Amino acid sequence: MKVIGRMALVGSLFATVGSAAAHDADLVGIDPPSAAASMALPTGVTLREIIRMYRSKTQTHSTNFYWPENGHKQGWRLEGTLGFLSSTPFQDSTPLYSCNGPGNWNFFTSPDPDCEAGYHVGDYFIGHISKVALPGTLPLYRCVFIWKGTDWRHFDTLDPTCEGSVSAVNDGVLGHVFL
């Protein structure tokens, strides 16, 4: 399993990806007590793993905490983990939302509940992300590029250079994810 960006792989990966349990679980593949024991988490944090998916036909990336129903039939493939958010609010955190637009197949995450004039996708609320750097966290960057000369495409990464993509531009830090 690939880890997106610079993060070290944590725990066993995605044993339940694609199942109903994975959709409903706050944490896929990692035991919360053992993950929490390895770092000092802020009060109120309930870890939720986030994953990045890719659909080659439309060069679309999507970040979420679950695998979509019929994901493989729709052309999605799992790229890897981006770390952990919290399913519950905690001090110095902000909600992160799943959005789309402008145009079709431009999935992106945003702390803006109005999706930056785009529209909400699926379960919409992904989790709470730390607004400040804490021990055991890394920044989560949002990158953007133009596909076919007109269509925007965003993707989240732990790499400030947008994974070396020549056409992608770092759109800023969304917050900090737990490892």
Q: What is the 3-state secondary structure (H, E, C) of 76-144?
A: EEEEEEEEEEECCCCCCEEEEEEEECCCCCCEEEECCCCHHHCEEEEEEEEEEEECCCCCCEEEEEEEE
Specify burial of residue 86 (Cβ count, 10 A radius: 0-12, 13-18, 19+).
Answer: buried
What is the reported pLDDT for 39? 65
Least confident of 1-5, 9-13, 145-149: 9-13
Quickly tell me which residue has 């983990």 as its tokens.
81
CA atoms within 13 A on the CB side of 134: 22
Q: Is residue 11 part of a domain?
A: no
Mean pLDDT (whole number) for 24-29: 38
What is the reported pLDDT for 38? 56
What is the reported pLDDT for 161? 97
Q: Is residue 14 part of a domain?
A: no
The helix (run of H) or strand (run of E) holding residue 34 is helix 32-37
Q: Is residue 37 part of a domain?
A: yes
Domain that holds residue 128: 20-178
Q: Is residue 95 part of a domain?
A: yes
Does residue 81 have a pLDDT over 90?
yes
**Per-residue model confidence as pLDDT tens digits over 103-162:** 788 899 999 999 999 998 877 899 999 999 999 999 999 999 988 888 889 999 999 999
* pTM to 2 decimal places: 0.79
Q: Give the residue with greater pLDDT, 126 vs 21.
A: 126
Q: Is residue 10 part of a domain?
A: no
Highest mean pLDDT among 24-33, 95-104, 109-118: 109-118
pLDDT-derived band at 102, boundaries 50, 70, 90: confident
- Look at residue 2 and give its three-state secondary structure: coil
Does residue 6 have a pLDDT over 70?
no
- Look at residue 28 and give its three-state secondary structure: coil
Total domains in the chain come to: 1
What average pLDDT does the structure give for the chain? 82
Determine phi and psi for 37, rounding to 5 degrees: -65, -25
Q: Is residue 43 part of a domain?
A: yes
Percent of the chain's residues with pLDDT above 90: 63
Q: Is residue 140 part of a domain?
A: yes
